[in-house]
Chain A
């Protein structure tokens, strides 16, 4: 790894990016102010190669060229002697645009995906529509998150080598992006990763784009450069419409699901999104026929790169939201309905292997008793009924569901990972891996490995995790990190194996082990489960949705220490609520019950895969109770609730 040479404000060139304010217009040109020779401008025309980088199979333009695709799209990069002068110069640049002659609807770049069973048993559409049915729509608008955190990308040349230092969730992609845009050989690009932390996926796509721009600047001028930008990311917009048809005896007979995902200006990992979402759409109750269709759409919004989820969370949230609507219509509490349907095993599909869900009922009942859920639900339900005199604007939402561990088998097969464990002559165990372990409690990994070796007080075993390898594909988002979840299992197994070998083989001895779990015949392995109840009230002064109390229970295989897992769950819940518009008051209470699931033979579910989904679902359910369908559209806000509730209450 390259040593960072002595770069200071006196020998660096500083860059800022001019971004578009309006989308859907034609970019005519720029009117630049008088700039002296200390400034350098880079636009799409100055790039030595094609104006795009490859990101998970999609081509993402670096700068807007003819048309502005989304607000926030880079238009040009300006480099100067310091950030202040660059910022002032940027303010004086006028962007000349013209209206587009006609707005052409972009063609669907990702074909829709359909999944069904029992279709032959379905009656004709007219007959189906005549059957009693219940419809619900769960929606989560496309959202851009600005994390209010600035970070720098520094690039400098040393001989034939280009060095780039930046925070990134995907170093390998940064290298490829810089090589593609600047023409620098990939072997001559060294990436140094800074420590990063994010609640969203801020360091996934944009650092690669900025690093590519910085590499072009270094190529053009030979100077050392630094770009400073705020960490931003976008979450796709979701609209999921579920319709359940009932047979004559009142049992669910068939279900039709239409899901539409707005991924922003470009589609990123859309096929994986479709696979994950489809897994989340499968209900826990039994049906004779099921039909689901997922459409990916593009819009003039910032492209959404993951943002902690590739569809499973939102799909599961929609399924749980719909299940509560079924209970609502059936004059049952959502808990009573789930008590009836959660039995036996889930269905075997291409997307998920069957799993025993009987234990889920026990966990669910436990938290429901603590929250006095049924009584509160009935009381809240009365506020909208014939007996409601005063709207007291409270809601209690419930959700439960299963977790998945990261990427699908199809996606995981595309990535190559390596891991090696060595037992040294000094009786140390070293682990060298390309698996990204930022934001992971590595102490738990070390303790786990040390516990698998037979050691004495005179001869203790120390486990060391070697410096991170750059060839890393796994991205930071915990929810997608199949490897982070399954990795402890593999570490334990490799340590056991090495402990046997060290007695017979000459030291040092190394073993390579597969950083990927065994591929199941299905795309995902369902594992672990959780239940959550959220109580929400609306502030009578300003209509803010105040989250009063949360009861949650999670039964997951440990991929980290208990306290760390509990904290991760808590953080996920609070962040998801905050993103969804929930306000945490001073007297807020949270009760989290974390039960480590000892049987991890069927894989480990990512903590966030279920906690984010259940938070969204129970929050939406609570909002539905206090304000109906429109109030439950996420993210919510005080203004939105005032508009919906203000007139009626």
Chain B
């Protein structure tokens, strides 16, 4: 099947098996670390990407579903301002997420912040998809709140 999509700003035309998971596509064609998580569909949560700005687990998305869609991985998010805000929040709170889940965690934070969600239980529910033991849910909530605080302060300064 011929699939055309936009991955990290690159327009790609790929000839693929339509059932191939997006995680494998990312790993084989783009050598993206998002594809390194290989839980065989057990939802470890470490392969999150954004499809049209909504976070999904790339191992659960068959290739035919990405046709005509825009996919963003951590590689493109790291150039955006929000990622530097997230890094600043990590530093401010003294949190060091492990490299195994960092990319996925940033993608999920981006998705939550982008959707404007601030309810603690909703953030906790969204983040529960990530099953890495390096941080607890309270840390996730604190990071997101810190990012929102940093952004608010910047907006006030600009105003």
- Smallest Cβ distance from A166 to chain B, in angstroms? 13
Is residue B1 contacting chain A, with contact meaning CB distance below 8 A? no
Please determine whether B98 and A199 come into contact, CB atoms closer than 8 angstroms: yes
CB of A149 within 8 A of chain B? yes
Q: Contacting A574 at CB < 8 Å: which of B38, B96, B99, B133?
A: B133
A588→B137 contact, CB < 8 A: yes
25 contacts between A and B (CB under 8 A): A83-B28, A84-B20, A148-B38, A148-B40, A148-B42, A148-B46, A149-B36, A150-B27, A150-B36, A150-B37, A195-B99, A197-B100, A199-B98, A441-B96, A564-B96, A567-B96, A571-B134, A574-B134, A575-B133, A575-B134, A584-B137, A586-B121, A586-B137, A588-B138, A590-B136
| Residue B12 lies at the interface, judged by CB distance under 8 Å to chain A | no
Please measure, in the bound complex, the distance between the C-alpha atom of A293 and the C-alpha atom of B84, giving whole angstroms. 55
Interface status of B17 (Cβ within 8 A of chain A): yes
- Report the count of interface residues on A (CB-CB < 8 A): 29
Contact digits for A65-104, partner B, Cβ 8 Å, 1 yes 0 no: 0000000000000000001100000000000000000000
Near A by CB (< 8 A), chain B positions 63-99 give: 94-96, 98-99
The complex places the Cα of A584 from the Cα of B94 at a distance, in Å, of 21
Assess whether A149 is in contact with B38, with CB atoms less than 8 Å apart.
Answer: yes
- Which of A202-245 touch B at CB < 8 Å? 230
- Decide if B28 touches A586 in the complex (CB within 8 Å): no
Known contacts A150-B36, A574-B133, A588-B136; decide if A567 and B44 are in contact (CB<8 Å): no
Nearest chain B CB to A336's CB is how many angstroms away?
31
Which among B28, B37, B42, B137 is the interface contact of A149 at CB below 8 angstroms?
A: B37
Q: How far is the CB of B149 from chain A (nearest CB, A)?
A: 19
Q: Which residues of B contact A230 (CB under 8 A)?
A: 38
A151 to B36, CA, bound (A): 7
A148 proximity list for chain B (CB < 8 A): 37-40, 42, 44, 46
Query: B30-50 vs A: 1/0 string, CB under 8 Å?
Result: 000001111110101010000
Among A148, A150, A197, A564: residue with most chain B CB under 10 A: A148
Q: Whole-angstrom distance between the alpha carbons of A441 and B96 in the complex?
A: 10
**Partner among A150, A563, A570, A588 whose Cβ is within 8 Å of the Cβ of B38:** A150
- Docked complex Cα distance between A574 and B135 (Å): 8
Chain B positions 1 through 25: 1 when the CB is less than 8 Å from some CB of chain A, otherwise 0: 0000000000000000100100000
Residue from B27, B95, B134 whose CB has the most chain A CB atoms within 10 Å: B134
Contact B138 A589 (CB under 8 A): yes
Residues of A within 8 A of B128 (CB): 586
Is A578's beta carbon under 8 Å from chain B? yes
User: Closest residue of chain B to A230, judged by CB?
Assistant: B38
- Tell me, rounded to whole Å, the shortest Cβ–Cβ distance linking B102 to chain A: 9
A335 to chain B, nearest CB (A): 26
Chain B residues in 8 Å Cβ range of A566: 94
List the A side residues contacting B136 at CB < 8 Å: 570, 574, 584, 588, 590
A567–B94 touching, CB < 8 Å: yes
CB of A389 closer than 8 Å to a CB of B: no
How far apart sit A578 and B100, CA to CA, in the bound complex (Å)? 16
How near does chain A come to B137, taking the closest CB pair, in angstroms? 6
Q: Which residues of B contact A577 (CB under 8 A)?
A: 133
Chain B residues packing against A (C-beta within 8 Å): 17, 20, 27-29, 35-40, 42, 44, 46, 94-96, 98-100, 121, 124, 128, 133-138
A541 within 8 A of B: no
Q: For the complex, give the distance between the alpha carbons of A567 and B40 in Å.
A: 29
A9 proximity list for chain B (CB < 8 A): 28-29
Q: How far is the CB of A233 from chain B (nearest CB, A)?
A: 14
> In the complex the two chains form, is A149's CB within 8 Å of B100's CB?
yes
- A578 contacts B133, CB within 8 Å? yes
The 7 closest A-B pairs by CB, nearest first: A563-B94, A148-B39, A150-B38, A574-B133, A197-B99, A148-B44, A567-B96
Q: Does B133 lie within 8 Å of A199, measured CB to CB?
A: yes
Which chain B residue has the least Cβ–Cβ distance from A564? B96
Q: How far is the CA of A83 from the CA of B21 in the complex (A)?
A: 13
A 333-374 contacts with B by CB, 8 A: none
Chain B nearest CB: distance from A547 CB in Å?
10
Chain B residues positioned under 8 Å from A84 (CB to CB): 17, 20
- The closest CB in chain B to the CB of A579 belongs to B133
CA A571 to CA B100, docked complex, whole Å: 13
CB pair A586–B94 under 8 Å, yes or no, is no
> Which residue from chain A places its CB closest to the CB of B127 in the assembled complex?
A586
Smallest beta-carbon distance A488→chain B, Å: 18
Contacts of B29 in A (CB 8 A): 9
* Residues of A with C-beta under 8 A to B28: 9, 83
The interface centre, meaning the residue of A147, A571, A586, A590 with most chain B CB atoms within 10 A of its CB, is A586
Q: Are A571 and B133 interface neighbours, CB within 8 A? A: yes
Complex interface residues of chain A between 147 and 173 (CB less than 8 A to chain B)? 147-151
Which residues does chain A contribute within 8 Å of B42, judged by CB atoms?
148
Across the interface, A571 reaches (CB within 8 A) one of B44, B98, B137, namely B98
Question: Which residue from chain B places its CB closest to the CB of A568 in the assembled complex?
Answer: B96
A571 surroundings in chain B (CB, below 8 A):
98, 133-134
